[in-house]
Structure 1
Amino acid sequence: MAQHVRDIMTSQLVTVEPQTSVTAVAQKMRDEDIGVVLVTEGDELRGLVSDRDLVVRALAEGGDPDERTVASACSGDLFTVTPDEEVDQAVRLMREHAVRRVPVIDHGHPVGIVSIGDIAIERDPESALGDISAAKPNE
């Protein structure tokens, strides 16, 4: 029986507006203990920013991170899935586009995110990635 994205996705989303400062996004990631934030305008997905994006696209470029907005650091070329799609479709997208996370969209609005860690926990919990992904975060 095929498994659907809704069965393994993370539905507790953290979102920010495009004009949010890089510093504020980094603080939100720290406070929420997450590595990715969705960038939205209203209820529409505009991008995705990871902790790595903040380092490579914002901090490494220099300038004041309090003045620089997350819009300059986020990935805007997104590949998405719906909650009803099979997990195999999310895996194909991740492989094809070399991404670690795929936003889940329902009727044009973000409702979740599925990561390679979510897939590893579900499909191979004894693997190193599954084990690490299921572990409690470092304090």
Structure 2
Amino acid sequence: MTVVAKILQSKPDTTVHTIRPTDSVLSALQLMADKGIGALVVTEGDAIVGIFTERDYARKIALLGRTSAATLARDVMTTAVRFVRPDQSSEQCMQIMSTGRLRHLPVVDNGKLVGMISIGDLVKDIISEQKFIIEQLEQYITGTH
């Protein structure tokens, strides 16, 4: 069972990209496109005040006829932010994501934003664990351990 801290360590880039509530949706989308990511944490100082995701854009901008340039992040961000701690397991994260239908979880340690994990990070970790178990079982069965 892998913990979030280990998943964060395995990521090639651990930068958590953030925006302010007063940033335009257009600037948020540009940052997401530039970084190849699907979510941004919305912060005021050190406080997490929301999360802005591709889903927020699709449902709260495009479908409602708003424009990205004229809409602020605070008007469309999700304010009920679920987060995890570095000591939580990948299984706990999968449960939170499945139950909440979430794709991204900020990681908070002692009140400080320290990372972000995605459903893709968790899937990659689970595949790696399963591959290791299969290799161990193959070695045991063939007697090459």
Q: TM-score range by the shorter chain?
A: 0.7 to 0.9
Is 1:35 aligned to 2:35, yes or no? no
Find the partner of 1:20 among 9, 23, 29: 23
Q: Which has the larger radius of gyration?
A: 2
How many residue pairs end up in the alignment?
A: 125
- In structure 2, list runs of 5 or more residues that go unmatched: 129-145
Residue identity (%) = 29
Query: Is 1:58–1:72's contact at 8 Å kept on the other side of the alignment?
Result: no
- In structure 1, list runs of 5 or more residues that go unmatched: 126-139
Tell me how far 1:62 sits from its aligned partner. Answer: 2.1
* TM-score (norm. length: structure 2): 0.78
Tell me how far 1:21 sits from its aligned partner. Answer: 0.4
- The residue aligned with 2:5 is 6
* CA RMSD across the alignment: 1.7
Residues 98-131 of structure 1, C-alpha deviation per residue, up to 9 Å, x if partnerless?
A: 2111111111121111111101111125xxxxxx
Is 1:95 aligned to 2:94, yes or no? no
- The residue aligned with 2:140 is none
Greater percentage in helix: 2
Is 1:109 aligned to 2:108, yes or no? no
Residues 66-109 of structure 1, C-alpha deviation per residue, up to 9 Å, x if partnerless?
A: 22101122111121111111222111111221211111111112
* TM-score (norm. length: structure 1): 0.81
**Runs ≥4 residues deviating over 3 A:** none
